[in-house]
Structure 1
């Protein structure tokens, strides 16, 4: 017996989008379950935003098919849009209106019944009630973020799209934002979020890594890190020596990545034996402390970036 709750909220196959001769999204396939927070990672220009827009019918693919919220993404985009909340990268509300006036305007756009009650509820849920008469243009980044989220969930959508929602927001506001997102997901809302922050990616139930239009990895954080196939050494020591050591190790056979984290280096490679041989000459050096460690999500992220090819790079002529 198939339970509706066990069916994917989003199920797409082979989504492709081109602009001119450039393929921005290349045969992307994905299933997303109800209540999941799905993070989309990738370098700038990797197709994250384009992919998310195609997943929910906001952008028509050149190839591929699928459903979102039970509707065909090609032919029933209007029905999908009624059940989606979309928070863009840029603050897009009227800065010369108050918080309450902005939310009331959005409620009117959706023709919401009992709109005043729903506006009041959104103000209270996002901690905006005491500031409801403050002009939106005078808000800090964190408060603008809360207003944007309140507007997105005002019509109680089933799917929430967040496009780099916490860029430029302080850590405390980011944590409060993510606490709210997890509460929404616990209530059954499905969330797609693009981000560059590794700590935010680690708060997602699953992540998809895109690089220049191609899906490079998909799964839980643990699965993506393990799938990168990296062996990693951490070495700490005096800052000046760590800086020169990074230079010494870069380019050695078996060393594919050297990344400094304060006074510690992450030294990684996909061939554990060659990596061990590369660092062996430095293992007994006084002042350096070496430890074998699991690679981080950022290690895997950089490794995947190095494996990808920029689809907007100038074409080589033969």
Structure 2
């Protein structure tokens, strides 16, 4: 147990599992080698009357460094090396003496207590709250928010920050509040004074290109990383992550990008995490989750033999096992087929009722279909609004789909007539997708509508209404039997925002010509 806790402590300060194994082995082998050499030199140089005392000094000093020294000392005792268990001409009567096996046993016991206590302190966010000592420096949410107001004025997107502050200062029951959080790695500032909040029953999508800092921000909210110089604050169900991390994390459920894969069954995994989270009625929660997520047929199967979609459902069940108030989902549908994705979306809509849901995703379709609000970030928050609000602010095109009355058997002449009408009526319109058989889909920029005479069509109104009137006036002459008018997709909004802020994807500078960067995708889309 002492060696396990010791290895865990070493793993906190290295970057990978392999490095942790190597560091643990190297440190302990080196220490026990030094101890053995020290014993040999002591045996050769110590006066006969002081030999046992010197060996004890050496042991009690070096055993503080690593548990392996106590193990080696016990092995020396078992073979009576250097006559350690002798008392004069006879062996010691009681092997539990401190100078025999009692010393190693006591040291290992104390190391278990100290190392586990250190791990509890470290993993709880360097807080004494885990030992029942709450921080006297804890601030109220309102006080922290008022302090944040001054910082917002320094932020380069003050209008966005101020609107978000007004929205959440008025709400006393914020589910999740991130206030002025920053995180740097060397010279790279991954998260730059980020502020946003999510109310209960609200589903929020965090969008951004690769390297935008989404995973770093999730790690900051989880408490895995500490913000720069103690700046900023995170409130989870009104509990401060910085000052009362244990209480805050008890309100949090996390579904990471990776799945639980080991030699346990699905139900055993849920049971393990229920015990780890201290769930009082474990069987009830496990049974309810298995039923809600449709996992009954798989509950006794090994996790490593489940499909990708079922593994993602298990990860979601693990996040929900303690019925948290705030749910963090890091790309929850990655690697899932379309049918499994939609089933997961339906499940998330159900479980999001009454709780905060924050998700990162690269799928604009997923964010559009599932979330109420979205934020687009690239180190800092570039845009933040409801999904419809983002479309209205950054969607610079309106999309139309025309269907000829003879479709799908319309002639090429009919299809070309539709195309010519579009090009004449809407100069600069981009034909996004043309399908033979009398259908055409195109995009009209808002700026070109005035030139097309759309603005003056029967008075003023919104863009969709203007287009609707134009098409209604001429659809009979064109032979159009059906049509649809829609706003810009979230994918188009995302590209507009990142292009407007000159955001490059991670490693874009080193990309080869024609590589799949955001700018390349936009160019290919136009082509």
Give the TM-score range, shorter chain: 0.7 to 0.9
| Structure 1 segment 65-214 matched on structure 2, within 5 A | 65-94=233-262, 96-186=263-353, 188-202=354-368, 203-210=370-377, 212-214=378-380
Structure (1/2) with the larger helix percentage: 2
Question: Would you say the 8 A contact 1:57–1:76 is kept in 2?
Answer: no
State the Cα distance separating 1:13 from its structure 2 match.
Answer: 2.5
**Structure 2-normalised TM-score?**
0.49
Larger radius of gyration: 2
Instruction: Name the CA distance, whole Å, in 2 between partners of 1:276 and 1:81.
Output: 56
Question: Would you say the 8 A contact 1:28–1:215 is kept in 2?
Answer: yes
Which sections of structure 1, spanning at least 5 residues, go unmatched?
A: 246-253, 278-288
CA RMSD of aligned residues (A): 3.3
State the Cα distance separating 1:117 from its structure 2 match.
Answer: 3.0
Question: Would you say the 8 A contact 1:269–1:275 is kept in 2?
Answer: no
Instruction: Name the CA distance, whole Å, in 1 between partners of 2:329 and 2:249.
Output: 14
| 1:113–1:229 CA distance, 2 compared to 1 (3 A) | closer
Instruction: Name the CA distance, whole Å, in 1 between partners of 2:442 and 2:356.
Output: 35
Structure (1/2) with the larger strand percentage: 1
**Structure 1-normalised TM-score?**
0.78
| 1:54–1:131 CA distance, 2 compared to 1 (3 A) | same
Q: Which residue of structure 2 aligns with residue 41 of structure 1?
A: 207
Matched, 1:304 2:489: no
| 1:217–1:266 CA distance, 2 compared to 1 (3 A) | farther
Structure 1's consecutive aligned runs of 4 or more residues displaced over 3 angstroms after TM superposition are 55-58, 231-238, 258-277, 289-293, 310-315
Instruction: Name the CA distance, whole Å, in 2 between partners of 1:294 and 1:5.
Output: 31
Per-residue deviation, residues 233-288 of structure 1 (Å, max 9, x unmatched): 658899xxx9xx9xxxxxxxx89xx79557567656574479979xxxxxxxxxxx
| 1:107–1:229 CA distance, 2 compared to 1 (3 A) | closer
Question: Would you say the 8 A contact 1:58–1:81 is kept in 2?
Answer: no
| 1:300–1:98 CA distance, 2 compared to 1 (3 A) | same
With a CA cutoff of 8 Å and minimum separation of 6, indicate the structure with the bigger relative contact order: 1
Which sections of structure 2, spanning at least 5 residues, go unmatched?
A: 1-169, 404-411, 420-427, 454-479, 511-527
Worse overlay, 157-166 or 260-269: 260-269
Worse overlay, 72-81 or 31-40: 72-81
Which residue among 32, 57, 60 is the counterpart of 2:226?
60
Per-residue deviation, residues 117-171 of structure 1 (Å, max 9, x unmatched): 3222222221112221111111111111111111111111111110001011122
Matched, 1:16 2:209: no
Which residue among 170, 193, 204 is the counterpart of 1:27?
193
Instruction: Name the CA distance, whole Å, in 2 between partners of 1:143 and 1:47.
Output: 28
Matched, 1:231 2:397: yes
